[in-house]
């Protein structure tokens, strides 16, 4: 009301939300009838390791083996990267007849109409007869999973009503930026709406055992109203990354209360949705040019999985004053440091060269084990000498130009051997632990300078192809 009917004052009304109460005074959760009751630890139900198995093995791997009932999972990523596609695919798989769950899956979208989602679903199901641009096309078909419900809704109260009606086992909210709580004044997507909506969804999950997947967009401006404010509210944070213009997508867990973090699942975006890549190293190396200068193979650990990736370096004379250093897939400061070490400790002339480094396949490498490959790729480009094609490089480069040991060496070496690499240049081992794997030649060395001497094929210029 604008005017108070009693005293006549304008704008004197303040909104206050009244929570329904039980007789004993305990508060209910909006949209839910559950009440909290303290229980003895031994009496709390549910096996600790109870998980719903998934048919998408790469997704399951990132979650730590499957879906934990009652957990809240945030899937973040740039707009257009494939979050909706991934979760619709998961929803269809989990709602299909062969799936282990008996209750429905509810997919709530604030971004697309039910029909749009259905068309996407048809595309994923590879219904060849469907013409996606024909709006009058009849999409009714028996191929769609019986137990998948779609609704376009942004009002969180209505979403909770739908949840009570459908009683799903999995709830997908696409996206948190479009959902809003009507009694809050701020607009959808604002920090307080995002945070409050997520908290209520968490309460829903914890009291009902429904697993909630929340999609969140990462904004270029540093994700202020995006997943960052949510990370501590949810149990698991997954990021879907990759280059929009390339087909590989990496699903990475950055927080997981129920599994290892930094676990990575690899997918490829195809015409008919995301396809799992079960042997990513092979895929990342597929387009490599053997014997080209400026290319080196690193072995990086993504969670528990070793991945072989090609690192490309390119140097070219600077045309105006300041030489540029442009990394793609590695950290900028790490590149500066590597260039400084190559200049001072190896004696390469880089002061008048622009340096570009690219990690092939859109992967982002954060661990220092790739330092050696980065340094060698740059050196190989400056000298225009290719690297031994059958060799991988593993090691951190220190400020003195020394090579430093990195963890999980044997897992890395075994993966390299499995893919047919014959040799590995690694930091000299000072402490002896597990013996080296036998099916790959190990070349231990202490300095970057020496690694270059061993690795670069001298004299052979630009024979590659």
Residues of this chain that interact with ligand TYD (CB under 6 A) are: 77, 79-85, 120, 123, 269, 271-273
Name the residue nearer to ligand TYD (CB basis): 90 or 393: 90
Residue 123's binding partner among ligand TYD, Mg ion, none (Cβ under 5 to 8 angstroms by kind) is ligand TYD
C-alpha dist (Å) from residue 367 to 262, 305, 403: 11, 13, 14
Distance CA 406, CA 367 (A): 9
Name the residue nearer to Mg ion (CB basis): 84 or 450: 84
Name the residue nearer to Mg ion (CB basis): 84 or 338: 84
- Contact status, residue 28 vs residue 21, Cβ threshold 8 Å: yes
Name the residue nearer to ligand TYD (CB basis): 84 or 391: 84
Largest CA distance in the chain: 96
Which segments of 384-447 does DSSP mark as H helices, in order? Answer: 409-418
Residue 348's binding partner among ligand TYD, Mg ion, none (Cβ under 5 to 8 angstroms by kind) is none
Residue 145's binding partner among ligand TYD, Mg ion, none (Cβ under 5 to 8 angstroms by kind) is none
Q: Which residue is nearest to Mg ion (CB)?
A: 84
In the complex, least distance from residue 97 CB atom to ligand TYD, rounded to whole angstroms: 22
Residue 51's binding partner among ligand TYD, Mg ion, none (Cβ under 5 to 8 angstroms by kind) is none
In the complex, least distance from residue 120 CB atom to ligand TYD, rounded to whole angstroms: 5
Helix, strand, or coil here: 240? strand
Residue listed under structure tokens 């959808």: 188
In the complex, least distance from residue 213 CB atom to ligand TYD, rounded to whole angstroms: 12
Name the residue nearer to Mg ion (CB basis): 52 or 173: 173
Residue 383's binding partner among ligand TYD, Mg ion, none (Cβ under 5 to 8 angstroms by kind) is none
Question: In the structure encoding, which two tokens stand for residue 216, read together?
Answer: 């969140």
In the complex, least distance from residue 159 CB atom to ligand TYD, rounded to whole angstroms: 18
Length of the chain: 465
Distance CA 276, CA 85 (A): 13
Residue listed under structure tokens 């590695």: 330
DSSP for 157-215, written as a single string: HHHHHHHHHH--SEEEEE-TTT-B-TTS-SPTTSHHHHHHHHHHHHHHHHHH--EEEEE
Name the residue nearer to ligand TYD (CB basis): 273 or 455: 273
Residue 334's binding partner among ligand TYD, Mg ion, none (Cβ under 5 to 8 angstroms by kind) is none
In the complex, least distance from residue 227 CB atom to ligand TYD, rounded to whole angstroms: 12
In the complex, least distance from residue 152 CB atom to ligand TYD, rounded to whole angstroms: 14
In the complex, least distance from residue 109 CB atom to Mg ion, rounded to whole angstroms: 8
Name the residue nearer to ligand TYD (CB basis): 119 or 397: 119
Task: Give the pairing of strands 396-397 and 403-404.
Answer: antiparallel
Distance CA 231, CA 198 (A): 10
Distance CA 177, CA 184 (A): 14
């Amino acid at each position: 009301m604008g005017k108070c009917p009693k005293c006549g004052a304008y704008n004197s009304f303040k909104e206050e939300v009244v929570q329904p109460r039980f007789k004993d005074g305990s508060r209910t959760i909006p949209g839910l009838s559950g009440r909290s009751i303290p229980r003895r630890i031994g009496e709390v139900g549910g096996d600790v390791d109870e998980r719903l198995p998934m048919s998408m093995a790469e997704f399951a791997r990132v979650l730590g083996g499957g879906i934990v009932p009652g957990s809240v999972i945030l899937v973040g990523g740039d707009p257009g990267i494939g979050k909706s596609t991934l979760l619709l695919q998961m929803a269809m798989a989990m709602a299909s007849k062969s799936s282990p769950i008996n209750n429905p899956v509810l997919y709530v979208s604030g971004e697309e109409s039910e029909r749009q989602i259905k068309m996407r679903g048809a595309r994923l199901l590879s219904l060849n007869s469907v013409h996606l641009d024909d709006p009058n096309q009849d999409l009714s078909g028996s191929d769609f999973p019986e137990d998948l419900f779609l609704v376009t809704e942004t009002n969180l109260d209505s979403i909770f009503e739908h949840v009570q009606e459908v009683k799903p086992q999995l709830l997908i909210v696409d996206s948190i930026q479009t959902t809003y709580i009507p009694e809050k004044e701020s607009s959808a997507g604002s920090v307080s709406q995002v945070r409050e909506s997520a908290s209520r969804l968490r309460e829903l999950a914890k009291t009902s055992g429904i697993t909630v997947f929340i999609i969140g967009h990462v904004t270029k401006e540093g994700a202020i109203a995006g997943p960052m404010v949510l990370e501590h509210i949810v149990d698991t944070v997954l990021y879907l990354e990759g280059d929009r213009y390339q087909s590989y997508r990496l699903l990475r867990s950055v927080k997981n209360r129920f599994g290892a973090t930094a676990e990575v699942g690899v997918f490829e975006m195809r015409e008919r949705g995301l396809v799992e890549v079960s042997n990513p190293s092979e895929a990342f190396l597929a387009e490599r040019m053997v014997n080209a200068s400026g290319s080196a193979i690193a072995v990086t650990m993504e969670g528990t999985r070793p991945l072989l990736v090609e690192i490309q370096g390119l140097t070219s004379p600077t045309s105006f004053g300041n030489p540029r250093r442009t990394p793609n897939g590695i950290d900028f400061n790490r590149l500066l440091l590597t260039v400084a070490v190559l200049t001072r400790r190896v004696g390469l002339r880089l002061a008048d060269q622009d340096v570009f480094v690219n990690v092939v396949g859109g992967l982002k490498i954060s661990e220092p084990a790739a330092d050696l490959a980065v340094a060698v790729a740059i050196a190989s480009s400056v000298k225009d000498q290719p690297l031994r094609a059958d060799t991988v490089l593993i090691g951190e480069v220190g400020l003195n130009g020394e090579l430093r040991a990195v963890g999980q060496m044997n897992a890395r070496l075994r993966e390299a051997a499995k893919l047919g690499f014959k040799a590995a240049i690694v930091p000299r081992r000072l402490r002896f632990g597990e013996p080296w794997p036998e099916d790959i030649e190990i070349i231990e060395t202490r300095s970057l300078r020496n690694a270059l001497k061993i690795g670069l094929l001298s004299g052979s210029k630009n024979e590659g192809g």
